[in-house]
Amino acid sequence: MEVRKSLVVNSTPLETRIALLENGQLCELFLERTMNKSQVGDVYKGRVAKLLPGMQSAFVGIGGAKDGFLYLDDPVAQRLGADLSAEEEGEEAAEDLPPPPPPLPPLKEGEETLVQVVKDPIGSKGPRLSRHLSFPGRFLVFMPGIDHIGISRKITDPEERDRLRELIRSHALPGEGFIVRTAAIGEKDEDLVGDVAFLRQMWQEIQAKAATVPAPGLVWQDLRLLQKVLRDIFREEVSTFWVDDAEAHRQVLAFVEKLHPEWANRVKHFTSDLPIFEAFGIESEIDSARQPKVFLKHGGSIVLNQTEALVSVDVNTGKFVGKKDLEETVYLTNLEAIPEIVRQLRLRNLGGIVVIDFIDMVDPAHRDEVLARLQDELKRDRNHARAGGISEFGLVELTRKRTGPSLERQLTTPCPACNGAGRLQSPETSLLKAYRELVRLGERLRGADVRLTLHPDLAGALHQEAREGLLQLARLLGARVQWIERQDTPRNAVVMDVQMVGTNSASA
Q: Please report the pLDDT score of residue 367 as a whole number.
A: 93
For residue 323, give Cα distances in angstroms to 17, 149, 307, 327. Answer: 43, 55, 36, 11
Residues 134, 145: Cα–Cα separation, whole Å: 10
Fold of 415-507: Hypothetical Protein Ychn; Chain: A, (3.40.1260)
Q: Indicate the average pLDDT of the chain.
A: 86
Which phi and psi angles does 295 have, rounded to 5°? Answer: -90, 140
Q: Please report the pLDDT score of residue 354 as a whole number.
A: 96
Ranges of each domain in the chain: 5-34+244-283, 43-223, 289-400, 415-507
Give the model confidence (pLDDT) of 14-73 as tens digits. Answer: 999 999 999 999 999 999 988 777 888 999 999 999 998 888 889 999 998 899 999 887
Give the model confidence (pLDDT) of 113-171 as tens digits. Answer: 999 998 888 767 889 999 989 999 889 999 998 888 999 887 889 999 999 999 999 99
For the cut 50, the answer to whether the pLDDT of residue 391 exceeds it is: yes
pTM above 0.75, yes or no: yes
Residues 44, 62: Cα–Cα separation, whole Å: 6
The β-bridge partners of 69 are: 59, 128
Give the model confidence (pLDDT) of 475-486 as tens digits. Answer: 888 888 888 888
Residues 407, 348: Cα–Cα separation, whole Å: 5
Residues 210, 112: Cα–Cα separation, whole Å: 11
